[in-house]
Structure 1
Amino acid sequence: MRNQKKDRKSKGLVIKEKDVDRKVITCLGELEYSRDIYFNKVENVYVKPIDSIFGIEPYERICKNVKADLVDKAIDNSYEKSKNLVDVPNISRQSVRNAILKSNLDNDKSMVVAEKKLLKELHIYADEDHVHLQKPNKIKGRACQIVPLVTITEGTENVSKSRRRTINPYHIVDSSFDTSSLWKKVDEYIVGNYEVDEIKKIERLIESNCKDEAIMYMSELCSDIEDERVQNRCCNACNYIINNWEGIVNRYTLDIPGSCTEGQVSHVLSERFSRNPMGWSKEVLGKLSVLRVHKKNGNKIDSSIYSNTGNEQYRDCVNKTNEKL
């Protein structure tokens, strides 16, 4: 490319710098090379063809695969332990933190499946974790962030006489801790994965304050259950709803938040964020909670978590330049 001056100029490429050194940490170690920097007059952007061939973006010091591996380890471990487990030289705890911050999973494509399921009921659990935050400039005192969690399951099943487990649990959090955004994601997941019209509902009866009809519906629901133990639990739940009918109606009609399931929060959030004495920045907490939930839902942490992190204009221009070359 450097020697083909006429060809380059016809494509609008001008050499700006030659043999500029670059170092990047990869899964095989530190890669060091030199490359030429060109200016594309047509697209009005600087391009570095060698970087493009390697798939390395501007200012990237650690490749995406290594960053994804660091994030994968940080989901369950401290920054220090995460970098030691990845075992790549010249990586600091700050590098682990930066890898988390640069991820982007707000638009999780794994939420929607190809074919919707037919179910009569879904179980939805909602609760929150309370996580200590770091105050800027080491200011004394405590700061706390509430992290809401919603878990959607297809019911429960027996594991042993004294233990049950949820069926196909799916956890949802929001990186900005916005409950409105969170419940929108819950709605999108349910509508995208289940035939909603086939799910039996009591919400309509609560919203319209039809207590007598709700009592009849719940009585039929309990009578249809053959397992005596499960039937007793269902009846207790129905009695709770009837005894607290006015408050439940107010909660739905007045948009008052509620519901609680501490077990899910303990397993999904508290185990990493609040069980041990540590403080978090709000931004890292938001990013890492989304990543942790993503992995808990059975997904892999790989380089795709950086697929929507910016530089789109740069990549488009580079692609156009490569096509010309």
Structure 2
Amino acid sequence: MWKKPLKPVTKKAVKTKLILLYEDIVCDGTEGCKRHKLVGKKYFGGLYEGSERNEDLWLEVQQYIYDNYDTEYLKNVYIAGDGAPWSVAGCRVLEKSKFVLDKYHLGKYIYKATTHLDDSQQAAKEFIYGAINERDFDGVMRLLQKCYASTDQEYKKKEVTECARYIKNNWLGIMVRIDDGGAVWGCSAEGHISHVLSARESSRPMGWSKKGVDWISHLRVLTRNEQKIIDLMEYQDKKQRKKNRIECEDQLIQDVQKRKSSRNEEVLRKAIPGLEKKQFSWMRSIINAGGIIA
């Protein structure tokens, strides 16, 4: 589950979200082939800005799981990602879910934190990964502290600090991968972002409105799910006709109530002689307001 910037993040940039639900990873080809494919794929995505809309996105995923799987026999749902708050929030919506930190992003932070070690970089990385596999959080922090102390360059110190913070914030997600056999699967986030979103939205310089990028993201997801755009258009047309019909019915009810109120007022005026006199202004106010006398 991933979130892809449309361009380098600025005040005017927006991010679209992409979730790929799948059942398993199997070899695609002959024995020994390194190519794999996902079984039971289903994409979800769009802009979904804000915490409420983000929850709506995860509720769509949960509803799909309800509709297509027997949740009584479903053991775990793993949410693999880079640790972004929007993806971790899925654990509060999806039943039996666990967050798993994508090893690609973990590796990227560790790599940046050790590049200044030159020939010792590989050894340092092995020590850090060894401490992680031993579930030794304090040991990881001590190793990163040594990396920090081994450079005088401020930008390198910053990269080591960011790595330590990233590991600390996502330690539980790292441990799920270590402890839970089902969480050792790889995460193909970057490839799917590239093919589903970036290929259309940001591989070349483009300008998007929020509405436009939300629509194109939904359409890309739609086609990846092997659905027809014409089906979406027919569904939206049907939905709009239903909305128009409801609005017409509501307006008709209001008109009927208004005419009924006018008739009642006319009857009262005929039944109460002198209603227009000044001393009956209080009664006229009640009638005009459509009120009743208790």
TM score, norm. by length of structure 1: 0.38
Structure ranking higher on relative contact order (CA contacts 8 Å, 6+ apart): 1
The answer to which structure has the higher helix fraction is 2
Larger Rg: 2
